Structure 1
Amino acid sequence: MNKIMIVEDDPKIADHLRNHIQKYEFEVMKVMVFDHVMEDFHQYSPDLVLLDINLPSFDGYYWCRQIRKESICPVIFISARIGEMDQVMAIENGGDDFITKPFHPEIVMAKIRSQLRRAYGEYAAKVEERVLERDGLRFFPERLELTFAEKAASLSKKEADIIESLLDRYPRVAGREDLLEKLWDDLAYVDENTLNVNITRVRKKFQLIGIEDAVETVRGAGYRLHVSWTKEDK
């Protein structure tokens, strides 16, 4: 069952969308706190997002850019703005489609189905899935998943980028600067602790699949994948 996340601050419109979409056997989640959209995104892991432009605190363009840093799931903007530049901005900020209010619910359903087919179904690009493997650990970059000993953990895009770098460099050290450059385009705006926070998240994902101490800190250099689990857990 595909999961749809609705980011719309008008409760009547949000409820109308949710009730109609659920009729077609989709699982639907409605965001309630608009300062923490990405927290809901991480927890819910939707297959598609319906996103309004005019939102409290940050607009839909901002949230779409945040989603695009971590995911390629389809994003459909729904807005009362009808100007051509609004639609251009939606696409340039990472959106896949644009629906103007007022809308017919069946138009929304048709566009949802279309985007899901393009992303995951019959129209999705047919490419051979990459798998990186090391001593029983399997990493799937395209599906953002890590598995070991029949356990699996879902990853954010940044977590996946870090793990891919560690696997590519193993048994060498993945340097801090190299990791920062891979993860963020503009290093001038990256806080010094940002990488540390993401490394901590990566370690927790390894722990979820039963691997402790998977990422070794090499002082003054960076991080190295630690494979000592092979003797104990395989």
Structure 2
Amino acid sequence: MFKLLIIEDDTTLFNEVKERLIDWSYDVYGISHFENVLEEFTAIKPDLVIIDIQLPKYDGFHWCRMIRTYSKVPIIFLSSRDHPTDMVMSMQLGADDFVQKPFHFDVLIAKIQAILRRVYDYNHEAISIKTWSGATVDFERNTVTNNVGSIELTKNETLILKQLIEGKNTIVSREALIKSLWDDERFVSDNTLTVNVNRLRKRLDELGLGKYIETKVGQGYMAREAKNL
């Protein structure tokens, strides 16, 4: 669930937009004290900020400038001011879009979705690639590559390896692995997981990596990070 921060002093408008965004399954926050916007922003750590230009104490341009000092979070200006210089100023300060009041909510939600998709889909791609024991593991393409070569894994093999790498150097229980692989673990025999792990280890042996998947008897498995690489 994405966290959205709305910096808006019009309580009626804030509540209306908040209610509509919650209907779209967003987690929505507001500002309690407009003299401490940066502190509240830092505490909330939103995925996107919607900010008005005209605010108490300091205007939205000021807070945009302050946020940009610490973060590259997407920012949308929401304002009744329609002078071209306001739009230009917002973009120069690093805002991602400008929506003029009054606005149709469908326009706002479309802009929010487009920005989140652009920014966080890219980040997802980066997160889908991990390094482990001198190898590059691509969970999207189901591949493992190191200086020996490259192999392609099955979906189940990739899911097992992903769980183990995310908890590398710690034991991942058999129960956790079974639950991540099969929707209803009641109908999965314990031997099924063993077979899948052994297949994964055999494939990794082609790259000299099978030895780094360790069996912890009675507990589960562990992906050990090779040292001195």
Query: Deviations for 1:64-113, whole angstroms, at most 9, x for unmatched residues?
Result: 11111111110000000111111000101111100000011111111110
Q: Which residue of 1 aligns with 2:57?
A: 57
1:128 to partner: Cα distance: 7.8
Whole-Å separation in 1 of the counterparts to 2:123 and 2:108: 20
> 1:32, CA displacement in angstroms?
2.2
Contact 1:79 1:99 in 2 (8 A): yes
- Give the AA of the match of 2:2: N
Number of the residue aligned with 1:170: none
- Quote the residue 1:21 is aligned against: 21
Q: 1:117-173 CA deviation, whole Å, 9 max, x = no partner?
A: 11102x569558999xxxxxxxxxxxxxxxxx99xxxxxxxxxxxxxxxxxxxxxxx
Structure 1 or 2: more helix by fraction: 2
Secondary structure in 2 aligned to 1:88?
Answer: helix
> Secondary structure of the residue that 1:103 maps to in structure 2?
coil
CA contact (8 A) 1:117 1:124 kept: no
Q: Where do residues 79-90 of structure 1 align in structure 2 (5 Å cutoff)?
A: 79-90=79-90
Note closer, same or farther for the CA distance 1:110–1:36 as it changes in structure 2 (3 Å cut): same
- The whole-number CA distance in structure 1 between the counterparts of 2:86 and 2:58 is 16
Moved over 6 A (4+): 128-131
Q: C-alpha distance in 2, partners of 1:51/1:8?
A: 6
Aligned position for 1:45: 45
Q: Which residue of 2 aligns with 1:197?
A: none
Task: Give the whole-Å Cα distance in 2 for the aligned partners of 1:16 and 1:116.
Answer: 21
Aligned to 2:13, the other structure's residue is in SS state helix
Q: TM-score, normalised by structure 1?
A: 0.53
Equivalent position of 1:71 in the other structure: 71
SS of the residue 1:95 aligns to: coil
Inter-partner Cα distance in structure 1 for 2:129 and 2:92: 28
Question: Of the two, which has the highest radius of gyration?
Answer: 2
Structure 2 residues without counterparts, runs of 5 or longer: 131-168, 171-229
Percent identity between the aligned chains? 39
Aligned to 2:99: 99
Alignment of 1:61-210 (within 5 A): 61-121=61-121
Aligned-residue CA RMSD in angstroms? Answer: 2.8
Partners of 2:13 and 2:59 lie apart in 1 by 17
1:129/1:33 CA distance change after superposition, 3 Å: same
Secondary structure at the counterpart of residue 55 of structure 2: coil
Q: TM-score normalised to the size of structure 2?
A: 0.54
Conservation of the 8 A alpha-carbon contact between 1:49 and 1:73: yes
Cα 1:124–1:98 shift into 2, 3 Å: farther
